[in-house]
C-alpha cells in the first residue's frame, strides 16, 4: 500500500465511514499514538483487588511503559514507573509481592512504595542528601479510581476520569451491581495472549457485532450456543456510541424480550442458588431479578479496557504490529458458586487456547497481513450508516451488526490525534 | 522410583504410548487422540506458574472430559479458524520417566519433556515444556486419565495455542 | 523453634523464636548472608505500633550496612 503522510492531516486518513490502511501499519503513526493517546488519555491499569493488603504491589503497564501499582501502608494506591532513577534498571522483577520498599538489584538504591528515594549504599560517594527529593521513582501523573478500577494518565492536566468515562460509567456500575457484596475480586491472574496485529484491530473487534456468527460459528454450533442469534439480522440488540471512543453492544433488549434470569450467562438461577440468594438479599427480589435478566455489560472503554460480560481484557500495544491481550475472569467478592462457573467458562473461552479468542486472534493476524495489500487502500466501515439513530439519551445507536462502534472509535481517535498535532 | 526397579517392559509400553499420542497430535488425528482419554479425564495447561490452583486461578487450558470432546468437535468443524488450516507441528518427546506406580493395575505417573515446532503463516513458533501423565491400564491398553503440560513460558505473553499440545 | 521464611524479591529471611536467653526473642537470619539479628518482645511491640514511614530511615542502605567504616573503626 502507498504510504500516506500523516502530517498531511488526519482527515486524509480517517473519513466518516472508511479509514486508511496505513493507520494499522505505519510505525510513525504508532509512535504518534503512544504520545497522543497512550501517554495522554486515561488508560486502565489494574484493579484495587489486585493489591488487597497494605504494601501489596503488582507489575502492570500503560502500553509499553512498565508500571508498578502499589498500595501503601495507609491503603492509598500509587502508580510508579518501574525504572530506577539511578541507571534505569527495572526496580521490581517479580510480577507481584508485598514490600514497603523496593531495592534496585543493580546498585541497591532503595525506594518506598510511594516512590520516595529512601537511600543508596555508600552515600559518602554523593555530596549531600538534598538531591534525594528529586530522585524518587517516576510516577504516572494522575491516578483515578472508579468502582475499584484504577486508571492512570501521564498528562498533568486534562479531563477528569469521570469526564473521560462519561456515559460508559454506567457500564461499570452495571458490572459491579451484579456482585452481591458490591465488590469485584480480580485476583484470579491474567493470561497473556500475544498477537502480531495492530492494537486497533482488537479495539474495533471487541464491539463488532457483525463477526460472531462467522468467526465463532464453530464453537456456537458444537456448544449449541444461542450467542450467535444475539448478533443476527433479527436481533433487537443495539450497537452504541457512548462517547469518548467508548462503545458497547447492548444486548439488554434481547435479554428483556426473553425474560430469563441468568439467560445472558447461559444458565438458570437453580444452578447458582447461593449467588442468587445473596443478590436478592442485597438488592431485593425484584431488582435482583431485573439485574439477572439484563446481565453484564459488553463494553469497550477506549483505549484498552474491554468488559465482555464475565471477562475483563486489557489491550497492551507493544509495537505497530504486536499487541498483548491480558485477560482474567470477573469474580464477585464473596460469591463462590457463581465465581467457579465464571472462572471455568472464562478459561474455556479466552486466552491462547480459548474456544473464542483463539479465533478472534487469528482474524487479527490475518487482518494485519491483509492490510498491507497495495489495493484497495481503505478499510470500509459503512455498515448501518443509513439506519443509525439517536436513542433517548442522545447516544448514536445502530442495529446489533452495525459498525456504529467502529465509526465512533475512529471519530474519537481522530480528535485525539489532531489535538496532539 | 529408582532406576534399578524400572520394569523395562512397562517403560517401553509407556514410551510407546507417549510417542503415539505425540504423533496423533502432530498429524491432527483428532478422533484417535480423543480415544486415548479415560471418561474422567483432565487436560490441564496452567498459566503463571506450574503449581497454581485451577479452581481459583486462570489456566490456559483446564478441560474435563466433556470439554475435551468440545475442543475436538470444534477442531473437526473445519471452521476453527485458529486451526484452519491446521498448524504444521512436529514435537520431540524425551526424558520419559516412570515417576510412580508399579503397574499392578493402578495408575502410572509418567513425566516427559518436549520441544515442539509450530509453523503457521505467522512464522515458526517454538514451544517447550514438561508433561505429566497419569496413565491407566485398561483391557484395551493404556489410557490417559490426566495430562498436565507445564509450558516453560506459561508466565509470559504467548501466541495462540490452538493445536493439540 | 522454626517459624518460617519471609521472602520477597528484595530480601529473604528466616524467622524463629530463640530460647537461649532468659526470655524468648525473635531470631532473624538473613538467608543471603547468614547474618543473624534478634528482636525482643518490647522491640517487637514497638515495631507493631510504628507509624507509617517510621522504618524508612532504617531502610536507607547507607545507614548501617553499606557505608565507609567510621574513622575510629566504630562501625562494622
* Domain assignment of residue B162, yes or no: no
CA distance A255 to A268: 13
Return the bridge partners of A44, or none: A151
* Domain assignment of residue C39, yes or no: yes
Mutate to test the interface with B, among A362, A368, A369 (most CBs of B within 10 A): A362
Specify the 3-state DSSP secondary structure of A111: strand
Q: In sequence order, what DSSP letters do the residues of A170-181 get, joined into one string? A: HHHHHHHHTSTT
* Domain assignment of residue A25, yes or no: no
Q: What is the pLDDT of residue C53?
A: 87
Do residue B160 and residue A358 have CB atoms under 8 angstroms apart? Answer: yes
Q: Does C67 touch chain A (CB under 8 A)?
A: yes
> Do residues A82 and A122 both lie within one domain?
yes
How does DSSP classify residue A184? Answer: B
Q: Does C36 touch chain A (CB under 8 A)?
A: no
pLDDT of A155-210, one tens digit each? 999 999 999 999 999 999 999 999 999 999 999 999 999 999 999 999 999 999 99
> Do residues A81 and A226 both lie within one domain?
no
Specify the 3-state DSSP secondary structure of C50: coil
Among A153, A188, A209, the domain-final residue is: A153
User: A162 near A45, Cβ under 8 Å?
Assistant: no
Among A153, A182, A211, the domain-final residue is: A153
Name A324's Cβ contacts closer than 8 Å, sequence gap at least 6. Answer: A192, A193, A194, A195, A315, A316, A318, B157
How does DSSP classify residue A332? Answer: B
Provide the domain limits for residue C50.
2-59
In angstroms, what separates the C-alpha of C7 from chain A's closest C-alpha? 9
Chain A residues within 8 A of C53 when measuring between CB atoms? 73, 112
CATH number of the domain that residue A93 is part of = 2.102.10.10
* Domain assignment of residue A91, yes or no: yes
pLDDT band at B7 (very low <50, low <70, confident <90, very high): confident
pLDDT of A399-412, one tens digit each? 999 999 999 999 99
> Do residues A242 and A325 both lie within one domain?
yes
Quick check: ipTM above 0.90?
yes
Q: What is the pLDDT of residue A2?
A: 47
CA distance A401 to A233: 7
Nearest residue to A345 via CA among A361, A333, A362, A357: A357
* Domain assignment of residue B71, yes or no: yes
Residue A405: what are its φ and ψ, rounded to 5°? -60, -40
* Domain assignment of residue A173, yes or no: yes
* Domain assignment of residue B164, yes or no: no
3-state helix, strand, coil split of chain C in percent (to 5) is 15, 30, 55
H/E element holding A301? Answer: strand A298-301
Residue B19 reports pLDDT greater than 90: yes
* Domain assignment of residue A161, yes or no: no
**What are the helix and strand counts (H, E) for chain A?**
13, 21
CA distance A156 to A141: 5
pLDDT beneath 50: ranges in chain A: 1-2
Residue A141: what are its φ and ψ, rounded to 5°? -55, -45
CATH number of the domain that residue B14 is part of = 3.10.450.50
* Domain assignment of residue C14, yes or no: yes
In angstroms, what separates the C-alpha of C22 from chain A's closest C-alpha? 33
* Domain assignment of residue B161, yes or no: no
CA distance A283 to A176: 12
What does R_g of chain C's alpha carbons equal in angstroms?
14
* Domain assignment of residue C72, yes or no: no
CA distance A64 to A316: 7
Q: Which of C11, C60, C66 sits opposite A118 (nearest CB)?
A: C60
Subunits in contact with chain C (3 or more CB pairs closer than 8 Å): A
pLDDT of A34-46, one tens digit each? 999 999 999 999 9
CA distance A71 to A58: 9
CA distance A230 to A89: 49
CA distance B110 to B99: 5
* Domain assignment of residue A14, yes or no: no
Do residue C9 and residue A112 have CB atoms under 8 angstroms apart? Answer: no
> Do residues A72 and A205 both lie within one domain?
no
Q: Which of C10, C53, C62 sits opposite A122 (nearest CB)?
A: C62
Q: Which of C8, C9, C62 sits opposite A121 (nearest CB)?
A: C62
**Sheet of C2-7, strand order:** C2-7, C12-18, C25-30, C36-39
* Domain assignment of residue C73, yes or no: no
Three cell numbers written together for A204? 474495533
- In terms of DSSP bridges, do strands A311-319 and A246-250 run parallel, antiparallel, or are they unpaired? unpaired
Q: Which residue shows C-alpha cell 484417535?
A: B32
pLDDT of A138-154, one tens digit each? 999 999 999 999 999 99
Residue B115 reports pLDDT greater than 80: yes
Do residue C52 and residue A102 have CB atoms under 8 angstroms apart? Answer: no
> Do residues A286 and A384 both lie within one domain?
yes
Q: Does C60 touch chain A (CB under 8 A)?
A: yes
Do residue A353 and residue B74 have CB atoms under 8 angstroms apart? Answer: no
Chain A's closest residue to B73, CA to CA, is A222
Give the up-direction half-sphere exposure of residue A98: CA atoms within 13 A in the CB hemisphere: 9
Mutate to test the interface with A, among C6, C7, C9, C54 (most CBs of A within 10 A): C9
Cα dihedral B151, B155, B157, B161, rounded to 10, equals: 30
> Do residues A128 and A269 both lie within one domain?
no
Q: Does C62 touch chain A (CB under 8 A)?
A: yes
> Do residues A211 and A103 both lie within one domain?
no
* Domain assignment of residue B160, yes or no: no
> Do residues A302 and A395 both lie within one domain?
yes
Chain B residues within 8 A of A219 when measuring between CB atoms? 70, 74, 80
Q: Count Cβ atoms below 10 Å from residue A369 Cβ, excluding itself.
A: 13
Provide the domain limits for residue A272.
167-419
Q: Which of A94, A116, A121 sits opposite C66 (nearest CB)?
A: A121
Task: Provide the number of structural domains found in chain A.
Answer: 2
Chain C residues within 8 A of A97 when measuring between CB atoms? 8-9
CATH number of the domain that residue A304 is part of = 3.90.380.10
pTM: 0.94
Q: Is B50 exposed, middle or buried (0-12, 13-18, 19+ CB in 10 A)?
A: middle
CA distance A77 to A51: 9
> Do residues A56 and A138 both lie within one domain?
yes
* Domain assignment of residue C37, yes or no: yes
* Domain assignment of residue C35, yes or no: yes
> Do residues A243 and A378 both lie within one domain?
yes
* Domain assignment of residue C11, yes or no: yes
Of the listed ranges A109-123, A125-139, B47-61, B75-89, the least confidently predicted one is A125-139
How does DSSP classify residue A37? Answer: I
How many residue contacts between A and B have a Cβ separation below 8 Å?
Answer: 106
> Do residues A99 and A222 both lie within one domain?
no
Task: Provide the number of structural domains found in chain C.
Answer: 1
- What sign does the dihedral A327-A330-A334-A340 (CA atoms) show? negative
Nearest residue to A318 via CA among B145, B111, B70, B157: B157
Return the bridge partners of B108, or none: B135
> Do residues A48 and A180 both lie within one domain?
no
Distance of CA B105 to the CA centre of its chain: 22
Nearest residue to B162 via CA among C41, C27, A361: A361
Specify the 3-state DSSP secondary structure of A192: strand
Task: Kindly list the distances between the CA atom of residue A114 and the CA atoms of A71, A74, A101, B16, in Å, as whole numbers in the listed order.
Answer: 8, 10, 8, 57
Chain A residues within 8 A of C49 when measuring between CB atoms? none
Do residue A222 and residue B52 have CB atoms under 8 angstroms apart? Answer: no
Task: Provide the number of structural domains found in chain B.
Answer: 1
- In terms of DSSP bridges, do strands A110-112 and A117-119 run parallel, antiparallel, or are they unpaired? antiparallel
Mutate to test the interface with B, among A189, A220, A224, A322 (most CBs of B within 10 A): A189
Among A112, A130, A153, the domain-final residue is: A153
Provide the domain limits for residue B141.
3-151
Do residue A112 and residue C59 have CB atoms under 8 angstroms apart? Answer: yes
Amino acid at each position: 500500500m502507498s504510504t500516506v503522510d500523516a502530517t498531511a492531516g488526519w482527515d486524509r486518513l480517517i473519513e466518516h465511514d472508511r479509514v486508511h490502511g496505513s493507520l494499522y501499519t505505519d510505525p510513525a503513526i504508532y509512535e504518534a499514538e503512544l504520545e497522543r493517546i497512550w501517554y495522554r488519555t486515561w488508560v486502565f491499569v489494574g484493579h484495587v483487588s489486585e493489591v488487597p493488603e497494605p504494601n501489596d504491589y503488582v507489575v502492570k503497564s500503560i502500553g509499553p511503559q512498565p508500571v508498578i501499582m502499589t498500595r501503601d501502608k495507609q491503603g492509598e494506591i500509587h502508580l510508579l514507573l518501574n525504572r530506577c532513577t539511578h541507571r534505569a534498571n527495572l526496580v521490581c522483577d517479580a510480577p507481584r509481592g508485598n514490600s514497603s520498599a523496593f531495592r534496585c538489584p543493580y546498585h541497591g538504591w532503595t525506594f518506598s512504595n510511594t516512590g520516595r528515594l529512601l537511600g543508596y549504599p555508600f552515600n559518602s560517594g554523593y555530596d549531600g542528601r538534598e538531591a534525594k527529593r528529586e530522585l524518587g521513582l517516576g510516577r504516572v501523573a494522575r491516578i483515578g479510581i472508579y468502582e475499584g478500577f484504577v486508571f492512570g494518565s501521564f498528562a498533568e492536566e486534562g479531563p477528569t476520569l469521570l469526564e473521560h468515562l462519561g456515559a460508559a460509567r454506567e457500564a461499570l456500575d452495571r458490572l459491579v451491581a451484579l456482585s452481591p457484596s458490591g465488590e469485584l475480586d480480580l485476583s484470579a491472574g491474567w493470561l497473556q495472549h500475544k498477537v502480531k496485529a495492530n492494537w486497533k484491530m482488537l479495539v474495533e473487534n471487541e464491539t463488532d457485532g457483525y463477526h460472531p456468527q462467522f468467526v465463532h460459528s464453530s464453537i456456537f454450533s458444537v456448544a449449541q450456543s444461542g450467542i450467535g442469534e444475539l448478533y443476527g439480522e433479527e436481533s433487537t440488540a443495539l450497537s452504541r456510541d457512548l462517547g469518548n471512543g467508548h462503545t458497547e453492544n447492548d444486548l439488554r433488549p434481547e435479554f428483556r424480550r426473553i425474560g430469563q434470569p441468568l439467560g445472558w450467562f447461559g444458565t438458570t438461577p437453580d444452578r447458582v442458588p447461593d449467588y442468587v440468594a445473596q443478590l436478592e438479599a442485597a438488592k431485593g427480589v425484584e431488582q435482583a431479578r431485573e439485574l439477572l435478566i439484563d446481565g453484564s455489560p459488553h463494553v469497550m472503554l477506549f483505549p484498552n479496557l474491554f468488559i465482555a460480560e464475565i471477562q475483563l481484557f486489557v489491550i497492551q500495544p507493544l509495537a505497530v504490529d504486536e499487541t498483548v491481550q491480558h485477560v482474567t475472569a470477573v469474580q464477585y467478592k464473596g460469591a463462590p458458586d457463581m465465581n467457579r462457573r465464571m472462572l471455568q467458562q472464562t478459561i474455556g473461552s479466552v486466552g491462547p487456547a480459548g474456544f473464542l479468542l483463539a479465533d478472534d486472534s487469528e482474524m487479527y493476524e490475518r487482518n494485519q497481513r491483509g492490510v498491507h495489500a497495495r489495493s484497495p487502500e481503505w478499510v470500509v466501515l459503512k455498515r448501518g450508516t443509513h439506519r443509525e439513530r439517536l436513542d433517548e439519551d442522545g447516544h448514536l445507536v445502530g442495529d446489533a451488526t452495525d459498525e456504529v462502534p467502529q465509526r465512533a472509535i475512529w471519530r474519537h481517535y481522530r480528535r485525539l490525534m489532531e489535538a496532539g498535532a | 522410583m529408582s532406576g534399578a526397579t524400572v520394569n523395562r517392559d512397562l517403560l517401553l509400553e509407556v514410551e510407546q504410548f507417549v510417542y503415539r499420542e505425540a504423533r496423533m497430535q502432530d498429524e491432527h488425528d483428532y478422533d484417535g487422540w480423543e480415544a486415548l482419554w479415560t471418561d474422567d479425564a483432565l487436560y490441564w495447561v496452567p498459566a503463571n506458574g506450574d503449581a497454581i490452583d485451577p479452581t481459583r486461578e486462570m489456566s490456559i487450558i483446564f478441560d474435563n472430559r466433556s470439554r475435551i470432546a468440545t475442543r475436538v468437535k470444534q477442531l473437526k468443524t473445519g471452521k476453527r479458524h485458529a486451526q484452519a488450516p491446521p498448524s504444521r507441528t512436529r514435537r520431540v518427546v524425551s526424558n520419559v520417566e516412570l515417576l510412580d506406580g508399579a503397574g499392578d493395575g493402578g495408575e502410572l505417573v509418567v513425566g516427559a519433556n518436549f520441544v515442539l515446532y509450530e509453523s503457521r503463516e505467522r512464522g515458526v513458533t517454538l514451544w517447550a515444556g514438561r508433561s505429566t501423565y497419569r496413565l491407566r491400564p485398561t483391557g484395551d491398553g493404556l489410557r490417559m486419565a490426566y495430562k498436565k503440560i507445564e509450558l516453560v513460558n506459561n508466565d509470559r505473553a504467548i501466541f495462540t495455542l490452538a493445536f493439540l499440545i | 523453634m522454626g517459624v518460617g521464611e519471609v521472602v520477597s524479591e528484595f530480601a529473604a529471611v528466616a524467622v524463629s523464636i530463640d530460647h537461649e536467653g532468659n526470655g524468648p526473642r525473635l531470631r532473624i537470619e538473613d538467608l543471603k548472608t547468614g547474618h543473624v539479628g534478634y528482636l525482643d518482645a518490647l522491640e517487637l511491640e514497638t515495631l507493631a505500633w510504628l507509624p507509617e514511614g517510621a522504618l524508612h530511615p532504617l531502610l536507607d542502605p547507607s545507614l548501617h550496612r553499606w557505608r565507609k567504616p567510621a574513622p575510629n573503626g566504630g562501625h562494622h
